[in-house]
Amino acid sequence: MKVEQISIFLENKSGRLAEVTAVLAGAGINIRALSLADTADFGILRVIVSNLDKAKEVLKANGFTVGRTEVVAIEVPDRPGGIAGILKVLDSAGINVEYMYAFVQKSAENAIIIFRFDEAEKAISVLQKAGVRILSGEEVYSV
């Protein structure tokens, strides 16, 4: 089970992030999770949204460079050490985490972690064998 995210390449200048969020809001698209990484010249905004196809369409129509990436979303107990246990399982299996980001629902007992792995299928298998709940795209898009 994989989740699709959109990666948007942004010039590292004031207002570009605001433009992306305004375009998505104007199209009625809700951002479910996001991560922003930057360098001196550009940033990469990774978002999981309520309507992936529409988001990609409206962003491209507004001049943004957009890519699509498959990631894996898991639930982890929202307590000290919750993520440490997951990372130990992945490390023991020799699975590399390219990047990750997380979010917590206010009333939930679990956090949701989004992972990009170099070997996604292997990671999913290892996590499932360890009893980790993998979320479907529909579950994450509707959070």
Q: What is the mean pLDDT of the chain?
A: 92
Residue 94: pLDDT over 90: yes
Query: What is the maximum alpha-carbon separation in the chain?
Result: 45
- Return d(Cα 93, Cα 86) in angstroms, integer: 11
Helix axes 52-61, 16-26, angle to 10 degrees: 120
> Helical H runs in the chain?
16-26, 52-61, 82-92, 120-129, 137-141
pLDDT tens-digit readout, 37-49: 887 788 899 999 9
Please name each of the domains of the chain with its CATH number: 3-70 (3.30.2130.10), 72-141 (3.30.2130.10)
pLDDT tens-digit readout, 15-69: 889 999 999 999 999 999 999 988 778 889 999 999 999 999 999 999 999 999 9
Burial class (CB in 10 A: 0-12, 13-18, 19+), 62: middle
Q: How confident is the model at residue 78 (pLDDT cuts 50, 70, 90)?
A: confident
How far is Cα of residue 98 from the mean position of the Cα atoms in its chain?
12
Question: What is the 8-class DSSP label of residue 50?
Answer: S
- Return d(Cα 105, Cα 87) in angstroms, integer: 21
